């Protein structure tokens, strides 16, 4: 009888034989070259250790040069045993399909690594191609700084889904109602849960109406309604105004975001869906960098499967 450990051992021997004397990074690069991928490696100055590796499929390069208008960027995790983040960039075709632009493994999510990755991204553009017009990302201050430096003429839109999620969580914790205590069968009971839920819904509805304001004039009126709904929650109102609306309203409110050609992309849903495709295809979060080359299909996981969907 063959047990599972013997199967794992034989599979490990097979993979090792396929890789030969190459390191994980050398093996990955050899497969990228074999399949004619475009790739760049950033090494640490004090050593030859790879800090970032950026790669893309040849078809992705063609699509990027034809459809560079809107890019959605985000990082995903749990794709390898080294806990390196996987930075992924996707774009949108003229028929509103999502296509993969490029991928990058990063040892750390520092601004200089993101800067280098975006600079390599721009290397893919031909001289006569248009520059990206809109970048959609989550509220990562470092990423916004990098986009402002590398793509100063591009407009940044923040994922309002993530902002909404954060706002609702703050409403729940910061907006309280006075406890209403009643006596039922000789026992005291607090019956403020329904009131709290109603308050949360009322404030959040006012918030959504504010974010979806189609014009700046309507925004001003909706802002007054929102402030009125939060009159008993000064802590929450101060948080929203100082951390979201004042610095970022032009990046989340429709009255401003609709001034640019974002092709209906005001969230990072497309790139998060791409993360799901990648994670499902990898099938494990414990693989090494050599695992990026799928043994069972005989090609890198970043092949035609991820070009357009």
Pair of tokens at residue 197:
């839920």
Among candidate residues 257, 276, 296, the one where a domain is terminated: 257
Do 289 and 232 have their domain in common?
no
Do 133 and 273 have their domain in common?
yes
Q: The domain that contains 129 carries what CATH number?
A: 3.30.420
pLDDT in tens, 2-35: 899 999 888 878 877 777 777 777 888 888 888 8
Whether residue 136 is contained in a domain is answered as yes
Number of separate domains in the chain? 2
How high is the pLDDT of residue 93? Answer: 93
Across the range 95-110, mean pLDDT stands at 91
Asked if residue 298 has pLDDT above 60, the reply is: no
Distance CA 306, CA 281 (A): 10
How high is the pLDDT of residue 291? Answer: 64
How high is the pLDDT of residue 296? Answer: 43
Average pLDDT, the chain: 86
How high is the pLDDT of residue 290? Answer: 67
Asked if residue 182 has pLDDT above 70, the reply is: no
Asked if residue 202 has pLDDT above 90, the reply is: yes
Do 172 and 279 have their domain in common?
no
pLDDT in tens, 261-278: 999 999 999 999 988 888
Across the range 154-172, mean pLDDT stands at 94
Whether residue 94 is contained in a domain is answered as yes
* Cα 45–Cα 47–Cα 49 angle in degrees, nearest 5: 105
Do 291 and 202 have their domain in common?
no
How high is the pLDDT of residue 297? Answer: 44
Whether residue 186 is contained in a domain is answered as yes
The better pLDDT of the pair 107, 298 is held by: 107
Pair of tokens at residue 111:
């601004």
Do 138 and 273 have their domain in common?
yes
- The DSSP string of 137-197 is E-S-HHHHHHHHHH-TTSEEEE-HHHHHHHHHHHHHHH------EEEETTEEEE--HHHHH
Do 119 and 167 have their domain in common?
no
Across the range 293-303, mean pLDDT stands at 49
**Residue 232: which of 180, 179, 177, 193 has the closest Cα?**
177
At 287, the pLDDT band (50, 70, 90 cuts) reads: confident
Do 37 and 135 have their domain in common?
yes
Do 149 and 165 have their domain in common?
no
How high is the pLDDT of residue 24? Answer: 77
Do 242 and 105 have their domain in common?
no
Q: What is the value of pTM for the model shown? A: 0.84
Q: Are 104 and 168 in contact (CB under 8 A)?
A: no
Whether residue 45 is contained in a domain is answered as yes
How high is the pLDDT of residue 280? Answer: 79
How high is the pLDDT of residue 288? Answer: 72
Whether residue 262 is contained in a domain is answered as no
- The DSSP string of 50-116 is EEEEEEE-HHHHHHHHH--SEEEEEEE--SSTT--EEEEEEEE-TTS-EEEEEEEEESS--HHHHHH
The better pLDDT of the pair 219, 27 is held by: 219
Do 151 and 18 have their domain in common?
yes
pLDDT in tens, 220-254: 999 999 999 999 899 999 999 999 999 999 999 99
Most confident of 77-91, 113-127, 134-148, 167-181: 113-127
Do 82 and 181 have their domain in common?
no
Asked if residue 309 has pLDDT above 80, the reply is: no
Asked if residue 107 has pLDDT above 80, the reply is: yes
Considering only 37-46, 76-85, 187-196, 294-303, which range has the smallest mean pLDDT?
Answer: 294-303
Do 196 and 273 have their domain in common?
no
How high is the pLDDT of residue 190? Answer: 47
Q: Are 144 and 136 in contact (CB under 8 A)?
A: no
> DSSP class of residue 133?
-
Residue 150 lies in domain = 4-158+267-306
Whether residue 101 is contained in a domain is answered as yes
Whether residue 213 is contained in a domain is answered as yes
Asked if residue 293 has pLDDT above 80, the reply is: no
What is the length of the chain? 309
């Amino acid at each position: 009888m063959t047990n599972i450990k013997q199967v794992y051992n034989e599979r490990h021997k097979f993979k090792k034989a396929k890789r030969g004397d190459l390191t994980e990074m050398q093996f990955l690069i050899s497969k990228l070259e074999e399949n004619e991928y475009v790739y760049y490696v950033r090494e640490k100055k004090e050593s030859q250790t790879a800090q970032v590796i950026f790669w893309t499929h040849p078809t992705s390069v063609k699509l990027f040069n034809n459809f560079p208008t809107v890019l959605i960027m985000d990082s995903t995790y749990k794709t390898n045993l080294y806990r390196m983040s996987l930075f992924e960039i996707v774009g949108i075709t003229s028929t509103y399909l999502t296509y993969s632009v490029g991928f990058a493994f990063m040892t750390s999510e520092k601004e200089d690594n993101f800067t280098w990755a975006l600079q390599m991204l721009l290397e893919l553009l031909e001289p006569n191609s248009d520059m990206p017009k809109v970048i959609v990302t989550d509220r990562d201050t470092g990423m916004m700084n990098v986009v402002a430096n590398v793509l100063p003429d591009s407009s940044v839109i923040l994922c309002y889904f993530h902002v909404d999620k954060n706002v609702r969580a703050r409403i729940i914790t910061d907006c309280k109602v006075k406890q209403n205590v009643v006596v039922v069968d000789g026992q005291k009971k607090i019956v403020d849960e329904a009131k709290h839920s109603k308050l949360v819904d009322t404030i959040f509805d006012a918030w959504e109406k504010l974010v979806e304001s189609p014009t700046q004039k309507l925004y001003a009126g909706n802002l007054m309604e929102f402030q009125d709904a939060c009159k008993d929650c000064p802590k929450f109102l101060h948080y929203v105004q100082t951390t979201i609306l004042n610095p970022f309203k032009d990046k989340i409110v429709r009255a401003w975001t609709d001034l640019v050609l974002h092709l209906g992309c005001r969230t990072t849903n497309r790139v998060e869906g791409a993360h799901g495709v990648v994670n499902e295809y990898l099938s494990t979060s414990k693989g090494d960098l050599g695992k990026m080359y799928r043994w069972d299909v005989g090609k890198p996981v970043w092949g035609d499967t991820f070009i357009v969907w």
